[in-house]
Amino acid sequence: MRLHREGTPTILLTIAAVCFALFGIWSWSGLPQALAIALTLPFLALFGIVLWFFRVPSRTPLADDRAISSPCDGKVVAIEEVHEPEYFNDKRVQVSIFMSPLNVHINYHPINGVTSYYKYHPGKYLVAWHPKSSTENERSTVVVRHPRHGEVLFRQIAGALARRICTYSLEGTAARQGSEFGFIKFGSRVDLLLPLNAMIKVRLGDRVTGSVSVIAQFPE
């Protein structure tokens, strides 16, 4: 299993903490072996969870120029028409995907094109499904301009557990559908802001896979 580079500090810190704890447990004279094993298991489970969180799955990204692919793994928690004030200042269809701590937390470009906008916003850490999290939480906004279909905005939103959003997008650089544009540590959310004429292909409650599932299609 390959691990994501963003996990290196957390993994090393976890290894050090687990080794320290296990050394203390197994050097405790007089501690019954059965109890030592029982105390060891939670630390091994913690280490396994950290490795699982930073896993990098092997996938074949969607290659469909009309499709808007999922920017992340997770559950569709909102599909609604909203006013987007930061960049478009008009109405868009918002599709929100919630990532639990057990999901892959890599973020992927949903379309091909050129990055036309990027901005990081510090903010609060409301739970990721809170209605105000998209405007009040720590977040990063990226816009990619497709050469034929216009612009799509996608926003990384920190959750109650997330304390670091990583965004690799730079204005003026090429974006390839299914390639990485960022990573969010622990529970979080990604919003897609799509044109009103986009054909939505998911429903509330659907589970989607980053770089693979089709969220919507541009009109022909």
Predicted confidence (pLDDT) per residue in 15-72, tens digit: 999 999 999 888 887 888 899 899 999 999 999 988 988 899 999 999 999 999 999 9
Any domain includes 61: no
Q: Is residue 62 part of a domain?
A: no
What domain range includes position 52? 2-56
pLDDT tens-digit series, residues 184-203: 877 688 999 999 999 999 99
Model-level pTM greater than 0.85?
yes
Task: Report angle CA 95, 101, 107 to the nearest 5 degrees.
Answer: 50
- Residue 22, C-beta contacts closer than 8 angstroms, at least 6 positions apart: 40, 43
What is the pLDDT at residue 158? 83
Helix (H, G, I), strand (E, B) or coil at 128: coil
What pairs with residue 44 in β-bridges? Answer: none
The verdict on residue 180 lying in a domain is yes
When divided into structural domains, the chain yields a total of 2
Catalytic residue (choose from 70, 96, 133, 188): 188
Tens digit of each residue's pLDDT (9 = 90 or more) over 108-140: 999 999 999 999 998 665 655 555 556 667 889
Residue 213 lies in a domain: yes
Q: Name the DSSP class of 111.
A: S
Distances (CA, A) of 12 to 7, 15, 18, 132: 8, 5, 10, 34
The DSSP call for residue 100 is -
CATH number assigned to the domain comprising residue 178: 2.70.70
Same domain? 15 vs 50: yes
Question: Which H helix or E strand runs over 40?
Answer: helix 33-53
Mean pLDDT of 1-8: 86
Active-site residue flag, 69: no
Can you spell out the DSSP letters for 10-25?
HHHHHHHHHHHHHHHH
Could you give phi then psi for residue 44, rounded to 5 degrees? -65, -35
What's the rounded Cα separation, in Å, for the pair 87 and 214?
A: 24
